[in-house]
Every structure is written in C-alpha cells, then in structure tokens.
C-alpha cells in the first residue's frame, strides 16, 4: 500500500513541476497595471515586465516617482499619478487605462501599494492609526480591484494581490497584520467568484525584505511617537525599560530576518502573470517558507508562547 502512496506522491510532484514550468508564449500584446511603483517591489516589477515586453501601466503616488520610472523605462512603460485611497484618482486611472488597452482589456492588475506604520503594541494605537494603514492596504486594494475588474474580465486576465506572511500570523499590533488578513480573505472570495469568467487571482505573501516598509528609522520614529502620545497611566504600566527593549527586539528581528534581495518578490509576481497555471499563493523569502508559514499552522498556544518569549515583558503584569 505504501508503494502506491509513494508512487502517487511522486507522480503528483512531477505533474505539478511540469505544469508550474508552462508559461504563456506571447506578452507583447498584454497590458499590466501596477500600483505603488515609486519604490520597492512595484518599481522593480515595472522595470522587469517592461524589459520582458509587457505594456506596463505604472501607478505612482508622487510626480517624482512617475518621472524617474519613465526615465528608466522609456519603452513599453507609461506612468500615471495614483492615490489608491482617493476615488477620483482611481477613476482617472481607469479612464486612462481603458484608452491604453482598448478592446483587448487589461491582462494583469497588480495591487502592490502598501504601508506598514504605525506598528507596535495594540494598546499604543488609536483607531485612526488602524484606519491609516487599512485605507491603503485593504480598502485601496479593494477599490482599485473593483474599479478595474471590468477591464480584467474583458481580457480574461490575472489579478495579483500583495498580502504578507503577517496575513497568516499576527506578530505585532497595529493595522498592518489586520489589513493583510483582510487582503487574504478578499482575494480568496474574489478568486472563487472570478473563476467562472476565466480570471485568475493570485496572492503574494512575502517574508521580510529590505524595503521602505521595513526601514528601521521609520519604524523607530513611529514607535517613539506612539510612546510619547500614550496617557501617563498606560505608559507607567509598561515602563521605560519595556520601550527600550521593544526597540532592541525590532532591530534584532529586522537585521536578522530582512532579505536584501527584493527581486524574489517580483519574480513570483512574474510567474503569477506568465504561468499557464499560476499558483494560488506565493511565499517569497526564506523566512516565509521556513519560519512564518510553518508557525502559522501551529496551535495558538504554541505561537503565543514563542512570541511571548521573544517580546519584552511590561513592568506591571499579572503573574
């Protein structure tokens, strides 16, 4: 019996490997719209896809972002200002993209735009802190997707949403993990709805990479601001030592885990766009594959114990 199980497993693995290597033959007639192209993953992805022959429509938050990207990629790339939290800005982008793609429709939509700060202990946050992050990561992704969906359906194309390994395991407080959990849920329901129209939906779950989102200076400034604005009574329950230890742990984690090779993420997005049979989920980064994903399948009490061991302890706590 075990021989049959092994043979089945080997046959399945070989079949999966062969399917995974099949890619579409022609990209020169395909348009891809990417959000958040000023820096990081989106910027690198736009450049890589333009070199491959895709017609890239790049959404940037800043004028400098559009100009720099256009200068770097004079062929196969056009850029536009886009604020994913602004309905009027999204509508203008859709109108522009509709003119660019014509009757063919939009082959690919990549929802890459995202922010992280503020992150930190939950009690340090205000409701506005949560809204600030979710407005971009969650509602921005949803708003852009719904606005571009008719164009994607016309092309029977692909939608690639940027989630995170922290959309599987909530390792810190603030809106980031909450927003990425929501992106996962939205993408799953969208995938099931869109399969009837030939539209594929993929989720990218990166580990920690050296980008603006994981910039230590930015994170520490944000944490300092949260600490300074806390009510004295709440601050006293944590203690100054807790704050300093929290900063130290953040530095250790970021310096140890963050992968400097950010090209691993665009490579996964490229596969999601080019593969005949794209995967439902991609998890680029060694920490995603060997740390966060395995931990996400563990019982909650185990995860709580591990994180409780790593993170500092407040000054006042129940023993």
Average pLDDT on 32-47 reads: 96
286 located within any domain: yes
Residue with tokens 């399917």: 19
What is the pTM for the complete model shown? 0.90
Question: Is residue 157 one of the residues assigned to a domain?
Answer: yes
Contact 56, 32 (CB under 8 A): yes
* Torsional class of 23: left (φ above 0), alpha (ψ -120 to 50), beta (otherwise): beta
Q: Please tell me the distance from the alpha carbon of residue 286 to that of residue 294, in angstroms, as a whole number.
A: 12
Domain count, the chain: 1
pLDDT of 18 higher than 60 = no
CATH number of the domain within which 135 lies: 3.40.50.720
Q: Is residue 163 part of a domain?
A: yes
Q: Quick count: other Cβ atoms within 10 Å of Cβ 315?
A: 13
pLDDT at 16 over 80: no
Query: Do the domain assignments include residue 243?
Result: no
Considering only CA atoms, which of 281, 302, 318 is closest in space to residue 167? 281
Fill in the DSSP letter of residue 209. B
pLDDT attached to residue 100: 96
- Percent of the chain, pLDDT > 90? 73
Q: Which domain holds residue 105?
A: 25-211+259-297
In a domain, 218, yes or no: no
Give the per-residue pLDDT at 110.
98
In a domain, 187, yes or no: yes
244 part of a folded domain: no
Q: Which of 107, 176, 181, 238 is catalytic?
A: 176
Model confidence at 7, pLDDT cuts 50, 70, 90, reads low
Which of 9-23, 159-173, 203-217, 292-306 is least confident? Answer: 9-23
> Shortest CA distance to 46 belongs to which of 62, 65, 29?
65
Q: Quick: pLDDT tens for 228-265.
A: 999 988 888 998 899 999 999 888 888 888 899 999 99
Cite the DSSP H helix spans in the chain. Answer: 2-20, 40-52, 63-72, 87-101, 127-137, 139-155, 175-194, 216-229, 232-238, 240-257, 264-274, 286-287, 293-296, 300-310
| Active site (annotated) includes residue 176 | yes
- Domain-located, residue 127: yes
| Contact by Cβ (8 Å): 66, 81 | yes
Q: How confident is the model at residue 56 (pLDDT cuts 50, 70, 90)?
A: very high
């Amino acid at each position: 019996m075990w021989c049959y199980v092994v043979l089945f497993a080997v046959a399945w693995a070989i079949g999966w490997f062969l399917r995974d290597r099949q890619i579409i033959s022609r990209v020169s007639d395909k348009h891809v719209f990417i959000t958040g192209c000023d820096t990081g993953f989106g910027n690198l992805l736009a450049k890589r896809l333009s070199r491959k022959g895709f017609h890239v429509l790049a959404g940037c938050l800043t004028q400098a972002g559009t100009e720099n990207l256009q200068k770097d990629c004079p062929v196969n790339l056009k850029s536009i200002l886009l604020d994913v939290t602004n309905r009027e800005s999204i509508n203008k982008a859709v109108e522009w993209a509709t003119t660019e793609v014509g009757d063919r429709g939009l082959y690919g939509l990549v929802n890459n735009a995202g922010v992280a700060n503020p992150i930190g202990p939950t009690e340090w946050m205000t409701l506005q802190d949560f809204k600030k992050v979710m407005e971009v990561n969650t509602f921005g992704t949803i708003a852009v997707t719904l606005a571009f969906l008719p164009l994607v359906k016309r092309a029977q194309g692909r939608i690639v949403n940027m989630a995170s390994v922290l959309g599987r395991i909530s390792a810190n407080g603030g809106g980031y993990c909450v927003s990425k959990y929501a992106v996962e849920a939205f993408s799953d329901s969208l995938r099931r709805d869109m399969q009837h129209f030939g539209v594929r939906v993929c989720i990218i779950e990166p580990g920690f990479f050296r980008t603006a989102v994981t910039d230590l200076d930015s994170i520490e400034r944000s944490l300092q601001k949260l600490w300074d604005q806390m009510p004295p009574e709440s601050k006293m329950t944590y203690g100054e030592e807790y704050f300093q230890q929290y900063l130290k742990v953040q530095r250790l984690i970021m310096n140890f885990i963050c992968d400097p090779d950010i090209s691993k993420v665009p490579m996964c997005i490229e596969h999601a766009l080019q593969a005949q049979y794209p995967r439902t989920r991609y998890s680029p980064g060694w920490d995603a594959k060997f740390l966060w994903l395995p931990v996400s399948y563990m019982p909650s009490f185990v995860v709580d114990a591990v994180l409780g061991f790593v993170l500092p302890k407040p000054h006042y706590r129940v023993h």
